[in-house]
Structure 1
Amino acid sequence: MDNHAEKWKRYYEKSLAKPHAKRTEFALSLNESGLQIAVDCGCGTGSDIGYLSSQGYRVFGFDINAEAVAICRDRFSDDKLVEVSQDTFENFSYPNAGVVIAGASLFFANPAEFKQTWQRISDSIAEGGIFVGDFLGQSDSWASEYPSQTTPLTQLEVESLFEDFDVIRFHERNEPGITAIGIEKHWHIYSVIAVKRG
């Protein structure tokens, strides 16, 4: 197994023990779309999927990594509310949704197609629905040192994505830190929670 794949394997092993994100609970409390349909983009091992399903949401999760998809399919094999597919941001068929989650995953969207990808995500969110997710800042180590392409954005570029939304939370993290598997890096992330306007 190459070093990059080994890091992902270790990350998934750690992630399996991780609870859902608290901001996912907050996002559900804001959802006024009337749609109990959620999309988890880059779903990993499915910690948010489990919570969403427990709240009665029909959940569509996707990940580009076959191992993550296999873990989720096994984990949610008896859950009729959950559908997991191996897919990319660019090719996934986004359903009309009340909640779209993209936690630390849009970093890895194809930069050449990012504008179209974001438009498809934005268009899929119903009026009163919620986006919750993260964007890679330009000072992040992964903006230039990641083994595959990433999509780093400026603050203005991130803000411009939300012209059709009311932004509830906008947080910038720009500091040294470590990854989930203990590797040192510089983090530069914009985290956003926003409500789609009509």
Structure 2
Amino acid sequence: MANPIRVSASALIIRDEKLLLIKFNDLSGVHYNLPGGGVDAGESLVAAVARECREEACAEVDVRDLVLSWQYVPELEDFKYGTTQKLGLIFKADLKPGCEPRLPENPDKAQVGVEWVPLKEISEKGTDFPLLPQIQSALETTLSENKNIHFLERSSPMEWSEYFKKFKDRPPRPLLLNSLKSMKPKEKTALELGSGPGRDALHLLQEGWKLTVVEPETSGIEMIQKELPPHQAENFSVIASTFEDLKELPQVDFIYASFSLPFCKPEAFPKFWSLVEKSFKPEAYFAGNFFGPQDEWVQRGNTTGHSEEQVRELFKDFNILSWHEMNERGPTAAGIVKHWHVFTVLAQKKS
């Protein structure tokens, strides 16, 4: 007979020796839970933690390591908490800068508060709090010994070297091919931000462009150089740097950034983009992707996201030639399904 298990994911957020708890008042009386809840079908655990923190405490968090797991088997506990078997996973999480948790405007019917509770007072919050008593004891031991359980999130971005090997023999991206058909540049100088295994860089060189790539991963550069014909070498140059450490960029007629910009750290993006803006020659073109705020990797804190308004502001001095928004579930390079929220832009600098 089928015995479905309900999986929940919760956040352990500690600040100044206090634990963030969600306060409820229902038929069971007043009780407290960690921010968290059931994982939706097709949703990753880390994304579920981030979502629940937003929904229950208006809190944006970076989800860290798994620190504790627990189970509820109805038959072993006289069905005290219902007939559904449960598996709970508790992750450390950090509040993002400037975030202050609060009760949402439209909370769940039973939710009545969001509170910071001193760790030493947790045991006074009632027997319905999920960390009491056995889990509370286990958590205290885990924290005192500074132990984390390594959690492998299969839907996270691949290691770059693995990604490069997987895609090095793929044809150029449709974004590049379609952009080249739409452009009429004065000259053929280009800058690729994040060249990866070189599938697009090699095509630009074959089409007669003088190309500079920004790429910190030596494995990707080596792949390009291995495939680069000798007669094209003089048109190819490399800036071996992360986006965060860039000092300057050449002025070019075309800047291309396929799924690379979101991997610039949020705090470094404004400075990085100011360098990019200086690289555009008059009437130069841009083609690339930005992650939106609903993207799963953005929500878990792995990448930088921009709203539609923010992306359009970046291109206020451009004519938008093509704009496309994708907001749907789909596979990653690793073949794992995630939620994508992507803005794809083709634009030309105004004269």
Normalising by structure 2, we get a TM-score of: 0.52
* Pair 1:28 & 2:183 matched: no
Q: Which moved more, 1:67-76 or 1:136-145?
A: 67-76
Q: Which moved more, 1:86-95 or 1:152-161?
A: 86-95
CA distance in 2, matches of 1:92, 1:59: 18
Deviation for aligned residue 1:110 = 2.1
The aligned amino acid for 2:194 is G
- Equivalent residue, structure 1, for 2:285: 130
- Structure 1, gaps ≥5 residues long: none
CA distance in 2, matches of 1:96, 1:85: 14
Aligned partner (choices 176, 182, 189) of residue 335 of structure 2: 182
Aligned partner (choices 75, 78, 100) of residue 227 of structure 2: 75
Higher helix proportion: 1
- Equivalent residue, structure 1, for 2:275: 120
CA distance in 2, matches of 1:181, 1:150: 17
Q: Which moved more, 1:24-33 or 1:178-187?
A: 24-33
CA distance in 1, matches of 2:205, 2:247: 20
- Equivalent residue, structure 2, for 1:44: 196
- Equivalent residue, structure 1, for 2:48: none
CA distance in 1, matches of 2:342, 2:276: 19
Higher RCO structure, 1 or 2 (CA under 8 Å, sep 6+): 1
Deviation for aligned residue 1:20 = 0.9
- Equivalent residue, structure 2, for 1:108: 263
- Equivalent residue, structure 1, for 2:68: none
CA distance in 2, matches of 1:190, 1:52: 23
Asked if the contact 1:138/1:154 (under 8 Å) is kept, the reply is: yes
C-alpha deviations, 1:63-88, integer Å up to 9, x for none? 22232222223332722211123212
Asked if the contact 1:10/1:181 (under 8 Å) is kept, the reply is: no
- Equivalent residue, structure 1, for 2:295: 140
Aligned pairs for 1:55-66 within 5 A: 55-66=207-218
C-alpha deviations, 1:132-167, integer Å up to 9, x for none? 000011111110336xx5211111111110011000
C-alpha deviations, 1:94-118, integer Å up to 9, x for none? 1110110010000111211212211
Q: Which moved more, 1:132-141 or 1:61-70?
A: 61-70
Stretches (4+) displaced over 4 A = 3-6
- SS of the residue corresponding to residue 221 of structure 2 reads helix
Aligned partner (choices 159, 178, 181) of residue 312 of structure 2: 159
Output the aligned Cα RMSD.
Answer: 2.1
Asked if the contact 1:110/1:151 (under 8 Å) is kept, the reply is: yes
**CA 1:195–1:71: 2 relative to 1, 3 Å:** same
- SS of the residue corresponding to residue 243 of structure 2 reads coil
- SS of the residue corresponding to residue 80 of structure 1 reads helix
Deviation for aligned residue 1:89 = 1.8
Deviation for aligned residue 1:92 = 5.3
- The percent identity for this pair of structures is 28
**CA 1:118–1:98: 2 relative to 1, 3 Å:** same
CA distance in 2, matches of 1:52, 1:92: 24
CA distance in 2, matches of 1:15, 1:67: 13
Deviation for aligned residue 1:23 = 2.6
* Pair 1:87 & 2:241 matched: yes
- Equivalent residue, structure 2, for 1:197: 350
CA distance in 2, matches of 1:168, 1:45: 28
Structure with the greater alpha carbon radius of gyration: 2
